[in-house]
Structure 1
Amino acid sequence: MRPGFCSVAVAALTTAVALTGPATRASAAADGDWTTYHHDNARSGVAAGLAPLGTLSRAWTATLDGAVYGQPLAVGDRVFAATENDTVYALDASTGAVLWSTHVGTPVPRSSLPCGNIDPLGITSTMVYDPATGLLFALAERTGPEHVLVSIDAATGQVSEQRAAEPPRGDVIAHQQRAALNLLGDRIYIAYGGLAGDCANYIGSVVSLPTTGPAAPDSYAVPTTREAGIWAPGGATVVGDNLLYAVGNGESTSGAYDGSDSVLALSPDLQLADRFAPSTWAADNASDLDLGSMTPALVGSYVYTDGKRGTAYTLRSGSLGGIGGQVAQATVCRAYGGAAVDADTVYVPCSDGPRAVRIDSAGGMQVLWRGPSTAKGSPVVGGGAVWVVDYDGGTLFALDPATGSVRQQISVGVCPHFTSPTLANDRAYVGTTTGVVAVAGA
């Protein structure tokens, strides 16, 4: 056994299986499935085949054993969700009935963490489904502390493997895994940031493991002394062969650049391929005004990035530009979460309501509209509407893509920060602080 590698120990896990049909391998993903954060590796957030917007109604509510921070996944007639109690569920997409549930460990209580705002801390990031193997992948934070990549048979709920996926530098307990997992080729990519409060010794990093079998993980760590977390909920946006990550503020506020406050392009073997950072990186670091709060968005041949300062940048997707090498910049909003992209328009998750921003052929930006100020969640697009959650108020909005006006809205209950709906089966599935709500009419 390689040092740091965790062997399979299915017997140590508590698994409750309640199947309502034959235990067959999950089928290959269909076009209408939602197998990863915002539908695809480009993080477009677009459900192209969704029926036109109908009258919204609550189809069902599934009360689970903890908060659902990650975006639910939808594959065929099943919805998959993971909770902060380290439990993964398969739900019937039509009724919300539990088909199986698998408890994969004991989450970390807030009282044992140096800081943070999630209690307990279990599975926070969005899972990913692999149609080639029929496996569902989740990153569980468990008492120890430890970070473990768990692969589960999506048809039966049986654990296939569990493997250590620890960040390569810093204190294990100081790292929180919030960024969505990515499946690229036959590898799973896992990004790390810190806990709320930026305490202790954490360093932003990415770890990858193959989808199956024992292997030493590949890894990349931001070359800073501390911080520079990779925590934006969307994880990586894949552009060509590279994974693009937003990186938070580091400790350096003068002198040599430390790799923080940036958009990184990493190769599949986690080598640094390219980078962009604002010329204001030192001041951004000093004031916590970094780019790390929003997942980069691919809009045609450009990358749109925005963050806590509220300054948006367009970058050439094939050459990010280094320090100060943006194509254009504009004041748009303080952005948190994941954007959606439809053609030349990016729907930006802003702290004071979503914006629609058009990117022209030269990379210039035009703000088209601003949506409801309370709708701070991460937008998705489908059925002729932009869907966004007021997570504090517990309202799901369907907005007009042309104007941002509210076409319909419905109560779904209080949701975790940065919540983003899943669009599939002509429904919207929303993770809440108590489980999952399905909304019909999407």
Structure 2
Amino acid sequence: MPRHRWADPLSAGVCALALLLGGCASGSGGTPGTPNGGTGASPGPSSPGPSELTAGPRGPTPAAPGDWTQYHRDALRTGTVPDLPAAGAPARTWAAHLDGAVYGQPLLVGGRVLAATENNTVYALDPSGGTVLWSRNLGAPARESELPCGNIDPLGITSTPVYDPATGLLFVLAELAGGRHRLTGLDAATGEVVVSRDAEPPVGDRTAHQQRAALALWDGRVVIAYGGLYGDCGDYRGTVLSVPATGAGEIRAYTVPTGREGGIWASGGPVVDGDRLLLSVGNGESTGGGHDGSDSVLSLTPELTRADFFAPATWAEDNAADLDLGSLAPVRVGPYVLAVGKRGTGYLLDAKNLGGIGGEKARADVCPAFGGAAVDGTTVYVPCEDGLVRLAVGADASLHVDWRLPLGRGGSPVVGGGAVWVLDWRAATLHTVDPASGRVLHTVDVGAKVPNFASPVLVGDQVLVGTADGVTAFRTR
């Protein structure tokens, strides 16, 4: 986790907004906000207790062509929408003002925009105008005063949810008052809570763990990755959980074998690469001696055992200086895996053999990178601390920077409609960029503050952006 970089710009203003909307009130119920004066749904019920809730077997509800069901659209987190018609200048069409900040990507499933807030409310919105179709509050969020450190207040649902077409459920991970972590599966059509189960890291202090990495769906199970809070305080260790999507059965776990830290926190989350899971791990407390599993790229089996790994030869120095690989999700590109972290070095790894310590195929100076990259063929668009980089990956394991686009703070890009789409979350602007040259084609003001590492969503002729107070939509044609 970052110790000194990018204190969150939203925490001071979000609670004031939520107080106006009822979201900072104590208790588990909350009154959802309403977009553009539309009619709001009634408050959701109190949070379920610690026991599992299941409604028995459910029929499959496949996603429609063009739906956006998880972070960066697919299991490999490519962030690329093939065959999307050419896009024009984006124009803001509606803004849904909800009860808190939307840090994760909004999703589009079954003709509904699905978004989750830091006040632990999940919303379904009409994509044509942003009207609330249903909302469900899952309980009071954690507050900064009850956590050992951090910079998001209130702290509720931070990660991007995932939709399971086999059950028709939308899964979210909520941080609740007292620092509890709970996985909930809601019927995407109605908001009914079908699955509810505590999903706590098995090691360390639960209040020191933060769940920011996007959720993943893998072989009928929901994958949850944990890091720490901003400031790297307390007793936490990077952890991966695998929970059956039915809500019942064994929870599998993997914990990074470091004494402390080693968070798995990049907003891009776990990458499902066939029969394995790829994850990037942050700095651990060890700065010498044997490698402690931190500052690495991991390959995990379905049983969540480590099958392979890579760590830079500089891992001990990286840990000491907080310059680890944990800030960007791994990128699968052709026969390779690309890893870029806070040091700014890009490491190209053999996907079949990640290489262990210092075993990269190639490396190059790229940029300090955060969030999730976008992949189009053998081209990778890397979100940088101060902009966007187009990186070409050669069949000969070469790495070449084609262009750099300076921005105040570069969000995580997506590709479609003949353009690269990227947010400058410091300036709260959305840019369309020519993929070949890096030239900015269009720039539009989002109209609200934008969370750190934010990433737009491309669905048909719309672009959706999570903001400090809800979701904003743009039309592209």
Q: Distance in 2 between matches of 1:388 and 1:365?
A: 22
Structure 1 position 14, deviation (Å):
6.7
- Map Cα deviations across residues 134-172 of structure 1 (whole Å, 9 max, x no partner): 100000000122100000000001111210110111100
Residue of 214, 236, 248 corresponding to 1:180: 214
* TM superposition score normalised by structure 1: 0.94
Q: Which position in structure 1 is the counterpart of 2:133?
A: 99
Judge which range, 211-220 or 83-92, deviates more: 211-220
Matches for 1:318-329 after TM superposition, within 5 Å: 318-329=352-363
Structure 1 position 372, deviation (Å):
3.1
Q: Which position in structure 2 is the counterpart of 1:80?
A: 114
Q: Distance in 1 between matches of 2:247 and 2:441?
A: 48
Residue of 86, 91, 101 corresponding to 1:52: 86
Matched, 1:212 2:236: no
Structure 1 position 18, deviation (Å):
4.5
Q: Which position in structure 2 is the counterpart of 1:263?
A: 297
Q: Give 2:428's aligned amino acid.
A: G
Matches for 1:29-178 after TM superposition, within 5 Å: 29-178=63-212
Matches for 1:10-21 after TM superposition, within 5 Å: 18=41
Q: Which position in structure 2 is the counterpart of 1:189?
A: 223
Q: Quick check: 1:294–1:307 contact (8 Å CA) kept in 2?
A: yes
- Map Cα deviations across residues 3-57 of structure 1 (whole Å, 9 max, x no partner): xxxxxxxxx87798949xxxx9894112311100000010000111322111311
3-state SS of the aligned residue for 2:384? coil
Q: Which position in structure 1 is the counterpart of 2:470?
A: 435
Structure 1 position 291, deviation (Å):
0.2
Q: Quick check: 1:110–1:118 contact (8 Å CA) kept in 2?
A: yes
Matches for 1:393-412 after TM superposition, within 5 Å: 393-412=427-446
3-state SS of the aligned residue for 2:316? helix
Q: Give 1:441's aligned amino acid.
A: T
Q: Which runs of 5+ in 2 are unaligned?
A: 1-27, 33-39, 43-57
Q: Quick check: 1:152–1:158 contact (8 Å CA) kept in 2?
A: yes
Matched, 1:419 2:457: no
Residue of 340, 351, 372 corresponding to 2:385: 351
Matches for 1:353-392 after TM superposition, within 5 Å: 353-392=387-426
Judge which range, 49-58 or 189-198, deviates more: 49-58
3-state SS of the aligned residue for 1:282? helix
Q: Which position in structure 2 is the counterpart of 1:5?
A: none
Q: Quick check: 1:26–1:155 contact (8 Å CA) kept in 2?
A: no
Q: Distance in 2 between matches of 1:30 and 1:49?
A: 15
Structure 1 position 406, deviation (Å):
0.6
Q: Quick check: 2:29–2:140 contact (8 Å CA) kept in 1?
A: no
Structure 1 position 216, deviation (Å):
3.0
Matched, 1:312 2:346: yes
Identity of aligned residues (%): 58
Q: Give 2:204's aligned amino acid.
A: G
Q: Which position in structure 1 is the counterpart of 2:23?
A: none
Q: Give 2:435's aligned amino acid.
A: P
* TM superposition score normalised by structure 2: 0.87
Q: Give 2:421's aligned amino acid.
A: W
Q: Distance in 2 between matches of 1:391 and 1:165?
A: 31
Q: Distance in 1 between matches of 2:385 and 2:66?
A: 30
Q: Distance in 1 between matches of 2:351 and 2:412?
A: 22
Q: Give 1:108's aligned amino acid.
A: A
Q: Which position in structure 1 is the counterpart of 2:307?
A: 273
Q: Give 1:128's aligned amino acid.
A: V
Q: Give 1:191's aligned amino acid.
A: A
Q: Give 2:452's aligned amino acid.
A: H
Structure 1 position 392, deviation (Å):
1.5
Matches for 1:215-230 after TM superposition, within 5 Å: 215-230=249-264
Q: Quick check: 1:116–1:197 contact (8 Å CA) kept in 2?
A: yes
Q: Distance in 1 between matches of 2:152 and 2:80?
A: 29
Q: Give 2:268's aligned amino acid.
A: G
Q: Distance in 1 between matches of 2:430 and 2:30?
A: 34
Q: Quick check: 1:135–1:151 contact (8 Å CA) kept in 2?
A: yes
Structure 1 position 238, deviation (Å):
1.7
Q: Which position in structure 2 is the counterpart of 1:3?
A: none
Q: Quick check: 2:70–2:162 contact (8 Å CA) kept in 1?
A: yes
Q: Give 1:432's aligned amino acid.
A: T
Q: Quick check: 2:90–2:474 contact (8 Å CA) kept in 1?
A: yes
Judge which range, 218-227 or 365-374, deviates more: 365-374
Matched positions, count? 427
Q: Quick check: 2:210–2:229 contact (8 Å CA) kept in 1?
A: yes
Q: Distance in 1 between matches of 2:238 and 2:103?
A: 20
Residue of 266, 278, 283 corresponding to 1:244: 278
3-state SS of the aligned residue for 1:84? coil
Residue of 271, 287, 295 corresponding to 1:253: 287
- Map Cα deviations across residues 392-429 of structure 1 (whole Å, 9 max, x no partner): 11100000000111101111121000000011021110
Q: Which position in structure 2 is the counterpart of 1:28?
A: 62
Q: Distance in 2 between matches of 1:398 and 1:79?
A: 22
Q: Quick check: 1:125–1:181 contact (8 Å CA) kept in 2?
A: yes
Q: Quick check: 2:61–2:167 contact (8 Å CA) kept in 1?
A: no
Residue of 290, 301, 318 corresponding to 2:324: 290
Q: Quick check: 1:25–1:155 contact (8 Å CA) kept in 2?
A: no
Q: Quick check: 1:375–1:397 contact (8 Å CA) kept in 2?
A: no
The alignment yields a C-alpha RMSD, in angstroms, of 1.6
Q: Distance in 2 between matches of 1:368 and 1:55?
A: 24
Q: Which position in structure 2 is the counterpart of 1:198?
A: 232
Q: Which position in structure 1 is the counterpart of 2:333?
A: 299
Q: Distance in 1 between matches of 2:236 and 2:148?
A: 11
Q: Quick check: 2:197–2:247 contact (8 Å CA) kept in 1?
A: no
Q: Quick check: 2:59–2:166 contact (8 Å CA) kept in 1?
A: no
Structure 1 position 365, deviation (Å):
0.5
